């Protein structure tokens, strides 16, 4: 008896899941123009986190999207006025036992329009036939209503990271409603506006609205699918923090001939300082940098072993003859802390370069953290190292007195960072998500113990005591955080199917 019921249930689930994916696909095919017109409009609103006026226009746009889909949106603010609010909404399902909150963020990384390819602009989305770096051309003939090739990319800041999350979640829900399919779980929607600046007020928002945000599971729709193109479910993220370094030379730029060999050059100073932090194999030399790393569990090791090895293809595509890491597999390297130079600058290069001793030299470091690392402790180690190189650390531009007192001065400012997070692979709710995502495709999905990327997921655990699982939807080659960001159209369509499957999870 029991056995029969179970078989019937499995059969129902299987049929229904298959049906759902197909029905969502059918709905999408019938509405591609409208879906894409709305998404292009969404991408046209500048969304750099620090641009507080435009960032609120994005929130307003999302609220309109929700209203049009029958969801009553509200803004969740932090403790103080001025916080960029999260957009929230919920739909209760009669009889549902579990509640799942779907997360995406609508803010984006800073843009330097000059670095974008000819014809591409961060906030004027256009279709390209392929990534421009691979010879893709702008589809100049496209107008609303034309057929959209699913292999095209739609360009623009946020097209992949992470307005795609908002788009696929809300449209998955809409597809279910319009197809008269009832979700199996209560649904909540949470769209953040400060993710790219370190989710500065997310903890405050969680604490202030703890009751509204009660759930059994958060689904994080952010980051890229696996490099192989396979669908992926991720059970953790690295932590992250930025450090901004400024080393000082003479108070004004000097003629490199008239002062050369005498006036200290801050570019040389910064070069020597940074070089002291790594060996020639890219291993960090800062004392204790790797000390806190917690070892992988047995199930994490198993999962890593099953992740498809894409290194040969990546090396080819990215033009890399020899990766860092001395032969350690890619997936293992992502389980270690990093010390990355995001960028550096001193005076000018190229046509604007002059023969000067610059007045200052700057670098931005990005530190990724893994389980066991503590953000404050890790920053402290870098600061200790810099002090050990003879630098006086200050948090402001130096005064004349400081300049006279200290031969080596450095300004260090830090972003709002956070620790890593991992959800155990064997939780029942984790297994439910794996099954739901697997139901959308015949191809085996990838199960990853942790993304290489970062989100402040530790907050979900520490403040809300919640379970968190990431289900990325976009292509890996999306130029996330950089120029020419893009999303592959087909991945948006499949993202809707994936999110819908999770809304039907058991």
Q: Which of 26, 57, 320, 374 binds a second copy (CB under 8 A)?
A: 320
Tracing tokens 């256009």 back to the chain, one arrives at: 126
Q: 3-state secondary structure string, 265-325?
A: CHHHHHHHHHHCCECCCCCECCCCCCCCCCCCCHHHHHHHHHCCCCHHHHHHHHCCCCCCC
> Rounded to an integer, what distance in angstroms lies between the CA atom of residue 65 and that of residue 83?
22
CB 126 within 8 A of CB 139: yes
Whole-angstrom CA distances from 400 to 228, 262, 266, 340, 357 are: 55, 19, 17, 32, 19
Give yes or no for residue 274 binding a second copy (CB under 8 A).
yes
Q: Which of 318, 376, 377, 380 binds a second copy (CB under 8 A)?
A: 318
The distance of closest approach from Cβ of residue 483 to a second copy in the complex, given in angstroms and rounded to an integer, is 7
Give yes or no for residue 417 binding a second copy (CB under 8 A).
no
The beta strands (E) that lie in 395-499 are given as: 409-414, 421-422, 446-448, 468-470, 486-488
Q: To which H or E segment does residue 332 belong?
A: helix 330-333
Closest CA to 104 of 39, 150, 185, 50: 39
Give yes or no for residue 19 binding a second copy (CB under 8 A).
no
Give yes or no for residue 453 binding a second copy (CB under 8 A).
yes
Tokens for 193?
Answer: 């506006």
> Rounded to an integer, what distance in angstroms lies between the CA atom of residue 265 and that of residue 386?
17
Contacting range for a second copy; rule: CB under 8 A; set: 80-88, 143-151, 287-295, 341-349: 341-349
Report the residue number, 23 or 109, with the smaller CB distance to a second copy. Answer: 109
Contacting range for a second copy; rule: CB under 8 A; set: 57-65, 296-304, 312-320, 459-467: 312-320
Q: Which of 23, 83, 338, 475 binds a second copy (CB under 8 A)?
A: 338
Q: Which of 357, 382, 436, 473 binds a second copy (CB under 8 A)?
A: 357
> Rounded to an integer, what distance in angstroms lies between the CA atom of residue 124 and that of residue 354?
34
Report the residue number, 118 or 211, with the smaller CB distance to a second copy. Answer: 118
Give yes or no for residue 231 binding a second copy (CB under 8 A).
no
The distance of closest approach from Cβ of residue 113 to a second copy in the complex, given in angstroms and rounded to an integer, is 10
Report the residue number, 142 or 259, with the smaller CB distance to a second copy. Answer: 259
The distance of closest approach from Cβ of residue 143 to a second copy in the complex, given in angstroms and rounded to an integer, is 29
The distance of closest approach from Cβ of residue 361 to a second copy in the complex, given in angstroms and rounded to an integer, is 8
The distance of closest approach from Cβ of residue 489 to a second copy in the complex, given in angstroms and rounded to an integer, is 20
The distance of closest approach from Cβ of residue 266 to a second copy in the complex, given in angstroms and rounded to an integer, is 9
SS3 416: coil
Report the residue number, 32 or 325, with the smaller CB distance to a second copy. Answer: 325
Q: Which of 189, 480, 499, 505 binds a second copy (CB under 8 A)?
A: 480
Contacting range for a second copy; rule: CB under 8 A; set: 137-145, 240-248, 423-431, 460-468: 240-248
- What's the gap between Cα 431 and its chain centre? 23
Contacting range for a second copy; rule: CB under 8 A; set: 17-25, 301-309, 334-342, 493-501: 334-342
CB 445 within 8 A of CB 231: yes
The distance of closest approach from Cβ of residue 86 to a second copy in the complex, given in angstroms and rounded to an integer, is 21
Closest CA to 86 of 239, 218, 186: 218
- What value does the CA radius of gyration of the chain take, rounded to a whole number of Å? 24
Cα angle for residues 367, 372, 375 (degrees, 5° grid): 40
Report the residue number, 212 or 411, with the smaller CB distance to a second copy. Answer: 411
Contacting range for a second copy; rule: CB under 8 A; set: 72-80, 301-309, 339-347, 372-380: 339-347
Report the residue number, 483 or 497, with the smaller CB distance to a second copy. Answer: 483
Give yes or no for residue 111 binding a second copy (CB under 8 A).
yes
> Rounded to an integer, what distance in angstroms lies between the CA atom of residue 415 and that of residue 33?
40
Q: Which of 110, 119, 388, 444 binds a second copy (CB under 8 A)?
A: 110
SS3 69: coil
Give yes or no for residue 405 binding a second copy (CB under 8 A).
yes
Q: Which of 278, 411, 416, 506 binds a second copy (CB under 8 A)?
A: 278
Contacting range for a second copy; rule: CB under 8 A; set: 70-78, 212-220, 349-357, 426-434: 349-357
Instruction: Show contacts with a second copy in window 152-211 (CB under 8 A).
Output: none
CB 227 within 8 A of CB 451: no
- What's the gap between Cα 339 and its chain centre? 17
How far from each other are the two terminal CA atoms of the chain, in whole angstroms?
A: 21
Q: To which H or E segment does residue 123 belong?
A: none
Report the residue number, 27 or 391, with the smaller CB distance to a second copy. Answer: 391
Residues in contact with a second copy, shown as a per-residue x/- string from 358 to 377 under the rule CB under 8 A: x--xxxx-x-x---------
Q: Which of 460, 476, 491, 493 binds a second copy (CB under 8 A)?
A: 476
């Amino acid at each position: 008896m029991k056995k029969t019921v179970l078989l019937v249930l499995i059969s129902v689930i299987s049929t229904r899941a298959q049906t759902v994916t197909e029905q969502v696909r059918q709905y999408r095919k019938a509405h591609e123009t409208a879906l894409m017109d709305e998404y292009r409009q969404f991408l046209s609103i500048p969304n750099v986190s620090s641009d507080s006026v435009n960032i609120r226009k994005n929130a307003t746009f999302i609220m309109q999207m929700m209203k049009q889909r029958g969801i009553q949106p509200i803004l969740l603010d932090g403790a103080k006025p001025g916080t960029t609010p999260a957009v929230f909404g919920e739909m209760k399902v009669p009889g549902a036992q579990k509640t799942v909150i779907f997360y995406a963020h609508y803010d984006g990384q800073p843009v330097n329009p000059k670095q974008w390819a000819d014809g591409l602009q961060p906030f004027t989305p256009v279709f390209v036939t392929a990534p421009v770096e691979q010879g893709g051309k702008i589809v100049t003939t496209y107008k609303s209503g034309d057929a959209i090739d699913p292999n095209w990319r739609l360009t623009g800041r946020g097209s992949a990271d992470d307005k795609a999350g908002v788009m696929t979640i809300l449209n998955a829900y809409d597809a279910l409603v319009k197809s008269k399919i009832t979700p199996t779980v209560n649904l909540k929607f949470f769209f953040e506006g400060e993710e790219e600046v370190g989710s500065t007020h997310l903890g405050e928002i969680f604490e202030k609205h703890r009751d509204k945000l009660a759930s059994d599971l958060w689904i994080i729709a952010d980051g890229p699918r696996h490099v192989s193109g396979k669908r992926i479910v991720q059970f953790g993220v690295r932590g992250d923090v930025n450090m901004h370094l400024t080393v000082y030379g003479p108070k004004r730029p000097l003629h490199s001939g008239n002062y050369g060999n005498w006036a200290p050059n801050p570019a040389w100073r910064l070069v020597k300082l940074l070089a002291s932090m790594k060996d020639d194999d890219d291993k960090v030399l800062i004392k204790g940098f790797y000390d806190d790393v917690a070892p992988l569990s047995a199930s994490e090791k198993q999962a890593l072993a099953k992740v498809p090895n894409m290194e040969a293809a990546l090396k080819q595509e990215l033009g890399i003859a020899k990766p860092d890491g001395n032969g350690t597999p890619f997936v293992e390297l992502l389980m270690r802390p990093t010390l990355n130079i995001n960028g550096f600058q001193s005076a000018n290069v190229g046509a604007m370069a002059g023969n000067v001793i610059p007045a200052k030299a700057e670098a931005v470091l990005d530190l990724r953290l893994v389980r066991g690392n503590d953000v404050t402790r890790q920053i402290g180690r870098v600061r200790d190292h810099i002090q050990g190189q003879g630098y006086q650390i200050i948090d402001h531009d130096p005064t004349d007195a400081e300049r006279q007192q200290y031969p080596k001065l450095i300004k260090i400012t830090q972003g709002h960072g956070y620790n890593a997070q991992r959800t155990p692979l064997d939780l029942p709710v984790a297994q439910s998500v794996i099954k739901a995502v697997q139901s959308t495709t015949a191809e085996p999905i990838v199960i990853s113990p942790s993304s290489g990327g970062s989100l402040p997921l530790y907050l979900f655990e520490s403040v809300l005591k919640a379970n968190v699982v990431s289900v990325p939807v976009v292509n890996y080659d999306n130029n996330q955080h950089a120029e020419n960001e893009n999303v592959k159209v087909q991945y948006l369509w499949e993202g809707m199917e994936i999110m819908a499957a999770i809304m039907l999870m058991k």
